[in-house]
Amino acid sequence: MASTHLSLPICLPFEERERHARLDTLTTRVANTLIERYWTPEHLTGIDEYSYQAWKYLDEDEAFADVDLYLPSRYKRCVMQKVGETLRSHADKREAFQTIHPVVPDHKIRRIHTRRIKEQLWDSEEYLKSGYIDLLIGQLNSYYDRHGQYPESYFDLQERPSYSKGVLPYSADDGPTSGQAVKYEYDEDTQTLTVKLKTPDVVEPETRGDWTWTEHTLEGYEAFHELLEHGTLSAPSFHPTQNKTGDDYYELSFPVEVEHAAKPADVETVLAIDGGLRKDATAVIVNEDGEQLSVPYFIQNTERERMRNLARERNQLNSKLAYLRREGRDHTGSFKHVQSEYERVNNKIRHKREQLVHDVANQVLALALVYDVDAIVHEDLRSLSPPRGEGQLSWELSSWPRREIISKIEYRADVVGLHVERVYAGNTSRSCPRCGSTGHTIKSPDHFHEVWWGGHFRCDNARCGYQADRDYVGAVNVACVFFSETATLEHDFTSSYTGAFEIVPASRSAGESFSERRSSSELASDGGPRLVFGEALIVFTEQSEQDVTAGGGSCFIAPAVTPTETKNHSSNPNSASSPAMLGVTRFTRVTPNCYRK
Q: What are phi and psi of 457, to 5 degrees?
A: -105, 140
Rounded CA separation 270/378 (Å): 10
407 Cβ contact list (under 8 Å, min separation 6): 129, 131
Rounded CA separation 371/15 (Å): 46
Cβ neighbours of 221 (radius 10 Å): 17
pTM to 2 decimal places: 0.65
pLDDT at 381: 61
Rounded CA separation 93/99 (Å): 10
Cβ neighbours of 123 (radius 10 Å): 9
pLDDT of 535 above 90: no
Q: What are phi and psi of 327, to 5 degrees?
A: -85, 0
Q: What average pLDDT does this structure show over 133-155? A: 83
Terminal-to-terminal C-alpha distance of the chain? 37
CA 544 vs. chain centroid, Å, equals 23
**Per-residue exposure over 440-456, b if at least 16 CB sit within 10 Å of its own CB, e if not:** bbbeebeeeeeeebbbb
**Average pLDDT, whole number, for the chain?**
74
Could you tell me how many residues make up the chain? 597
Name the residue with higher pLDDT: 162 or 4. Answer: 162
pLDDT at 548: 32
Q: How confident is the model at residue 242 (pLDDT cuts 50, 70, 90)?
A: confident
pLDDT of 1 above 70: no
The lowest-confidence range among 21-35, 207-221, 225-239, 394-408 is: 394-408
pLDDT of 79 above 80: yes
Q: What average pLDDT does this structure show over 231-259? A: 87
Name the residue with higher pLDDT: 134 or 138. Answer: 138
Q: List C-alpha distances in Å: 227 to 108, 224, 259, 385.
A: 47, 5, 11, 41
Rounded CA separation 451/448 (Å): 9
Contact in structure between 83 and 34 (CB atoms under 8 Å): yes
pLDDT at 532: 27
Domains and CATH numbers, the chain: 1-259 (no CATH), 269-302+351-438+467-587 (3.30.420.140)
Sign of the C-alpha dihedral computed for residues 137, 140, 144 and 146 taken in this order: positive
Condensed to tens digits (0 to 9), the pLDDT of residues 460-514 reads 887 777 788 888 888 888 888 888 765 455 544 433 332 332 322 222 222 333 2
Q: What average pLDDT does this structure show over 546-568? A: 38
Query: Up-side HSE of residue 245: CA atoms within 13 Å toward CB?
Result: 2
